Structure 1
Amino acid sequence: MRKLSALTFPPISLLSKLPRTSPLQRAWPSLNSTRGSPCSVISPAALVCAHAVLLWPFAGGDSGFGHGLAKHLDKLGFTVFAGVLDEKGSGAEELRRSCSKRLSVLQMDVTNPQQIKDAHSKVVEKVQDKGLWAVINNAGILGFPMDGELIPMADYKSCMAVNFFGAVEVTKTFLPLLRKSKGRLVNISSIGGVFPMQQLAAYSSSKAALTMFSSVMRQELSKWGVKVSVIQPGGFRTNIAGTSESWDQKEKVILDHLPPELQEDYGRDYILQQKNFLRGIGIFSTSDITPLIRDVEHAVSAKSPSAFYAPGKLTSLFLNIAFFFPTSFLDYFEKKQNIQKKGMPRALSTPK
C-alpha cells in the first residue's frame, strides 16, 4: 500500500498544540508505534484518512456494543464504516447526527452475501489506496435461552448464521484490504464461547466456533503482519437479550411446536420458567460497556495487542473455573445455579 505523504497534512507539531484531554492526543502514542501502520511516518491529522475501521453490525438501537464502539472510534479520529441492519432506522440516524462526517452508515445484514459485497465496494471506493486498518465483527444474536433439547433447530441455525458464518464471510471478503495494511481483525465473541452455560447451547456453540476460527486466523495471518484479537465479554446488559414481550412470543411459538412427549417430560411450568434467565441477566450485569470499549481500542491501536480480552463482570472468575478447576466442580457449580433458578423438569420432580 502506498504510504501517505506527510506533506499532505499539517505537520506533526500539530499534536503538541492539542490539549492533553484530546482523544487524538491520547490515542496517538499507541497508534504511532504500530508496525506496518500507514500512520507510522505521517502526522496525527492523517489518522482520519489512514485508519479506516469497519464495524459490523448492530441492530440500530441506541444501546449495545456496536453503537458505543462506533461513537468512540469516531471520537478517536478513525474513519468508521458502521454496518447496520436498517440504515434508515433511528439508531443509524442518531449515529449520523452525533458523529463526525468521517463516519459512514452502511446497510449490512451479515446473512446476506450481496449486502456484504455491496458494502465492500463502497468501502473500497471511499478508502481507495489509503487502506483499511481494522475489521471489527460485532454481529450477534442470543436466540431463546432454553434447555438444548427444547431449542428449535431454526434457532441453532440462526445463531450459527449470524454469530459465526456471518463473521467468517465478512472476514474473508475484507481480508485482502487488511493484508495490504497489515491491520487488525477483531472478533467479538463471548465468555459463553469458553464457559459452558446452561440454556445457551445454540448461542455458546456459535461463539465457540467464532473463537476457534479467530485463533486459527491469528496463526495464519501472522505471516502477513495482520494481528487478530478475540473479545470475550460477559456481564453486560445490552439489547441482545430482547424484551419480556419478545420472550412471551417466542415461548408461544416453542410450546405450539414442541412434541407432546417433550411437553409431558419437561412440563409447561418448567418451560415457562426459562424467562428467569432474562431476570438473571439484569441482576448480574451492567449497562456500562466502557471496559469492552477500552479493550477494543487497545486491540485496534496497540503495538502488541492481546490475543484475548475478557472485559466484564465476573469474566475472570468464569475463565479461571473453566480452565483451572476440575470438570466435576464446573458441572456442580452450574447444576446448583440452575436448580435454584428454575427447578427440575416435571418427569424428574414427580414422586414415583
Structure 2
Amino acid sequence: MNVFAGCFTEDGEKALQNDCSQLPGTLWTVPLDITSQKSVDNCFAFVSQILKERESKLWALVNNAGFLAVYGPMDWIGIEEYEQSVGVNLLGAIRMTKKFTQLIKTSKGRIVTMISASGRLHGFYTAPYVAAKFGLEGYVDNLRLEMKPFGIKVSIIEPGAFKTTLMNPDAMIRRVESVWSKLSEDIRDEYGNDFKDNYIQSFNAGTSLVANRNIDIVTDAYIHALCAKHPKARYICGWDAKYIFIPMSFMPSTWQDFLLQLMMNITSGSKLPAALMNNNTLSINNNPPHCPPAPC
C-alpha cells in the first residue's frame, strides 16, 4: 500500500520513515499543520504532483489528527483552549476534507475519520474535547449523505479509551498543573487543591480501569474501512465504547448524568469544590442521587 503521511513535526516524519522503512509499498511524508490553510494547500500540491507523475489516483483520505483537550472544570478553561480543540479536532478535519474531496471523487474511494466515543456522550471536565468531537460527528454524518451520489464511502471510527500517548497519566498531570497555575487566586480558592488532586486521580484511575492496550482493534477498523467492499458507516472500538459509552448515548439525559456520576464515584469518590464544602453543602458521596424514573 502506498501512503502519503502528513506529519506535524520533523521528528515525527523521521520516526515514521524509520518505522516503515522495511514495509512494502511507498511512504511519502509531508509537513502538515491542519490548522493552517497554507499548510493544507502545500500538502495538496505535493500529493497532486506525485499522483500526476505516477498517473495514479488517490483512493482515500484518513483524518487522524487529534488533540486531547482535557483540563478540568469549565471555570478553569479559557476560550483559547476551546479554540485549540475545535481548531484541530473539528476544523482541521473539515479543512482537509474540503481540500481533498475532489481527488477522492476521481477514484470513488473512501473518507475515514477518527472521532471518539466522546463524540456520542458527554462527560466530566472534557468540554473542549467533547464539543469538538460532537461537531465532527455531525459534519461526517452529513458528509456521508452528500458523498454517496459520487460513489464515495464515508466511515467514522469511534474508539473508547486506549493506552496511547493521548491518555498518558504524566501528560495529564502536566496539563492540569499548567492550567491550574494560570488560574486566578479566587478560582483556586473556590476549588481548592484537594479538588484538583482528586480530579487527576479520578481521570488516571478511570483510564487505568478501562483503557485498552490492544491498539490492533483500531488499526483493523482502519483497514476494513479502507479496503472492504462494504465498509461500515461506524466502527466502535474497545469494550468500554461498545458496551458502556455508546449504549449510554441512547439513554435519557438524566440517566446518562446519573451513570457518569456513579462512575466518577467508583474511580475515586466525588469531590466538591472547596467553596461548597466550606458552605456545608451536602456531598454526593454522603447523599447519592436517586436513580431517575423511567421515561414515559
Same fold? TM cut 0.5: yes
Per the alignment, residue 273 of structure 1 pairs with 198
* Residue 94 (structure 1) shift: 2.2
TM-score (norm 2): 0.86
- 2:184 matched to 1:259? yes
Q: Is the 8 A contact 2:117 2:241 kept in 1?
A: yes
TM-score (norm 1): 0.73
- Residue type matched to 1:321 in 2? M
Q: Is the 8 A contact 1:186 1:300 kept in 2?
A: yes
Deviates more, 1:300-309 or 1:95-104: 95-104
- Residue type matched to 1:264 in 2? D
Per the alignment, residue 16 of structure 1 pairs with none
Where does structure 2 lack aligned partners over 5 or more consecutive residues?
281-296
Deviates more, 1:313-322 or 1:219-228: 313-322
- Residue type matched to 2:3 in 1? V
Q: Return the alpha-carbon distance in structure 1 between the equivalents of residues 18 and 213 of structure 2.
A: 19
Per the alignment, residue 298 of structure 1 pairs with 224
Per the alignment, residue 321 of structure 1 pairs with 248
Where does structure 1 lack aligned partners over 5 or more consecutive residues?
1-77
Which of 161, 165, 180 is 1:235 aligned to? 161
- Residue type matched to 2:274 in 1? R
Equivalences for 1:36-75 in 2 at 5 Å? none
SS, match of residue 161 in structure 2? coil
SS, match of residue 185 in structure 1? strand
Instruction: Tell me: CA distance 1:243–1:333, structure 2 relative to 1, closer, same or farther (3 Å).
Output: closer
* Residue 115 (structure 1) shift: 1.8
Per the alignment, residue 10 of structure 2 pairs with 87
Per the alignment, residue 206 of structure 1 pairs with 132
Per the alignment, residue 274 of structure 2 pairs with 346
Q: Is the 8 A contact 2:71 2:175 kept in 1?
A: no
* Residue 347 (structure 1) shift: 2.2
Q: What do residues 27-53 of structure 1 show as CA deviations (whole Å, max 9, x unaligned)?
A: xxxxxxxxxxxxxxxxxxxxxxxxxxx
Instruction: Tell me: CA distance 1:87–1:100, structure 2 relative to 1, closer, same or farther (3 Å).
Output: farther
- 2:90 matched to 1:164? yes
Q: Is the 8 A contact 1:186 1:230 kept in 2?
A: yes
Instruction: Tell me: CA distance 1:206–1:223, structure 2 relative to 1, closer, same or farther (3 Å).
Output: same
* Residue 159 (structure 1) shift: 0.7
Q: CA RMSD in A?
A: 1.9
Per the alignment, residue 45 of structure 2 pairs with 121
Q: Is the 8 A contact 2:89 2:136 kept in 1?
A: yes
- Residue type matched to 1:258 in 2? L
